[in-house]
Amino acid sequence: MTPATFTRGYLAGLDAETFDLDTYLAQFDARILADPEGRRTLTRLDPLLFALVYVRHHLRDSEGQITFGDAHLDWCRAARRWVRPVTGPSEERDAYIAPRNMGKSTWWFLILPLWAAAHGHIKFAAAFASSAGQAETHLASFKREIDTNELLRQDFADLCSPARRPSGTNVADTQSMFVSKAGFVFAGRGIDSSNLGMKVGEQRPDLLLCDDIEPDESMYSGAQAAKRRTTLIDAILPLNVYARVVISGTVTMPGSIVHQLVKHARGVETADWVTEEKFRAHYTPPIVQRDDGTRRSVWPAKWPLAYLESIEHTRSFAKNMSNDPMGADGDLWTPDDFRYPGEEGPDPVTHMMLSIDPAVTAKKGSDYTGLAVVSWSAQTRRCTVHAALAIKIPPGVHMRDRVLALLDEWPQVGLILLEINQGQDVWKSVFHHMPVKVKTVHQAEPKFVRAEGVLNHYQRGRVLHARRLVDLEQQMCAFPKAPHDDMVDAVGSAVRRFIPPAKKTASATQSTYV
């Protein structure tokens, strides 16, 4: 490994591959680090050095080695912003999503708050987790550290001692709150606890920490995710609009709060609430692609690249490492139901259609409009899904322009299949005089029954995906419990059009397009 060369800016340009611990430590005078005042001075603006000096035992692996991944350096750079005051409401709200077992809780609930508290950068940290017990465990770890860390107690005695009333009793040293002699407050609560009005005297939290605020998908649903998001927005954030806010976690299911933040960070899709609440999202992938196209591990010492690549195909890797979930909580599709072209290449296209499952409005609570490009091959007698997307555009000229752009992108499309269970007149006014034929379909058969029939075609190998269609496959695996199913409907309508149900019903036009 090439030793790091330090540039202007804190840990600037350094990652797991270029950071060298010995080079980093060599810049500090050991004589200064041997003195309490020297340690306080050197660590005041350096959370990484603070971690190495005071809580090194939390950084060692089972063999006693200290190594860092990309995210650890990113988090230290981010925390260093805490030395500057917040000048406006909702200015400092960030979400950090990284692979599971990256040490998020250790850094965000222990090391970084401890550094900030020791040096007075933060006065009141309020930490929230999925359950009260989980949050209280984090607070207990913090208190255990200040109770047992001799070097910390020597250099920051007032931080490590509880504040006392004139009577001699502690101001607060409980399972859910600690107030130090230095005036620092640390509170731990379950996210669904009663949080409104949390303050100590006139002091309100200036750091709101949310770590793993969503449970595992076996105990979670789209409706519960929406409720928890409401709690975050309506109960947690208003505790102090000037507070620094950090959300850290791993995706638990498709459509969850953290999953929406991942999509925002990756530039895939931004939920309205993310923009409205001014969150910045930072995503750390398990495998990083270098500029020359080669790959490396995000934390080589913990996860060698060969190991990551050996499990890259698994659902566990997608969910726990890449934060790219396949819903296990759905009732129909599983990841094994998706097939892709083999060595013989893609199927020849006989017919291709653009299927649209439209939403009548684009209001905040409305569904998305699902669009899918699906082809039929008379040679192989099966469908291929080439593209699927969900958009929130109101009916009108913008929707028409988006569809026309898709027709330009897929010139083999010869039919637009439009579901008109609602807003029939609206959609006819939007899609008049299109360059290809427009066929409408009214679905009266229950959505779940239609989806069961489409799943049967998937499982019998009658439907391929041209490549991995992440958003569609996540939605299918979570169906019918995902927050949205617009792409499922759009793909299903096309498949049923190309491969009509065996028994004719009055639910839809049954003549095949081919």
Q: Is 280 helix (H, G, I), strand (E, B) or coil?
A: strand
Query: Do 158 and 245 lie in a common domain?
Result: yes
Inform me whether the pLDDT recorded for 3 exceeds 70: no
Residue 504 belongs to a domain: no
Radius of gyration of the chain measured on its C-alpha atoms: 27
Which pLDDT band holds residue 366 (cuts at 50, 70, 90)? low
Query: Do 263 and 366 lie in a common domain?
Result: no
CB-based contact 358:427 (threshold 8 Å): yes
Residue 312 belongs to a domain: no
The pLDDT value given to residue 262: 92
Query: Do 281 and 379 lie in a common domain?
Result: no
Does an H or E element contain 139, and which?
Answer: helix 132-148
Query: Do 271 and 347 lie in a common domain?
Result: no
How large is the average pLDDT for residues 117-130? 94
The Cβ of residue 396 has, within 10 Å, a number of other Cβ atoms equal to 12
The pLDDT value given to residue 63: 92
- The total domain count for the chain is 2
Residue 127 belongs to a domain: yes
The pLDDT value given to residue 316: 83
Query: Do 280 and 341 lie in a common domain?
Result: no
Query: Do 189 and 91 lie in a common domain?
Result: yes
Q: Tens of pLDDT along 98-116?
A: 999 999 999 999 999 999 9
Write the CB contacts of 53 (distance below 8 Å, at least 6 apart in sequence): 33, 39, 42, 43, 151
More confident residue, 70 or 398: 70
Query: Do 283 and 175 lie in a common domain?
Result: yes
The pLDDT value given to residue 169: 74
Q: What is the dihedral of CA 181, 185, 186, 192, to 10 degrees?
A: 150
Query: Do 284 and 349 lie in a common domain?
Result: no
The pLDDT value given to residue 512: 39
CB-based contact 282:96 (threshold 8 Å): yes
* Identity of the residue numbered 326: M
Query: Do 150 and 218 lie in a common domain?
Result: yes
Closest CA to 461 of 339, 331, 347: 339
Q: Give percent of the chain with pLDDT exceeding 90.
A: 61
Residue ranges making up the domain that contains 237: 67-289
pTM for this prediction: 0.72
Query: Do 379 and 268 lie in a common domain?
Result: no
Which pLDDT band holds residue 504 (cuts at 50, 70, 90)? low
| Residue pointed to by tokens 């101001």 | 171
The pLDDT value given to residue 194: 63
Inform me whether the pLDDT recorded for 218 exceeds 90: no
How large is the average pLDDT for residues 386-400? 87
Query: Do 370 and 487 lie in a common domain?
Result: yes
Q: Tens of pLDDT along 68-91?
A: 999 999 999 999 999 999 999 999
CATH of the domain at 132: 3.40.50.300
CATH of the domain at 377: 3.30.420.320
How large is the average pLDDT for residues 121-149? 91
Q: Is 390 helix (H, G, I), strand (E, B) or coil?
A: strand
DSSP β-ladder status, 93-97 and 280-283? parallel
The mean predicted confidence, pLDDT, of the chain is: 88
Query: Do 249 and 383 lie in a common domain?
Result: no
Which pLDDT band holds residue 477 (cuts at 50, 70, 90)? confident
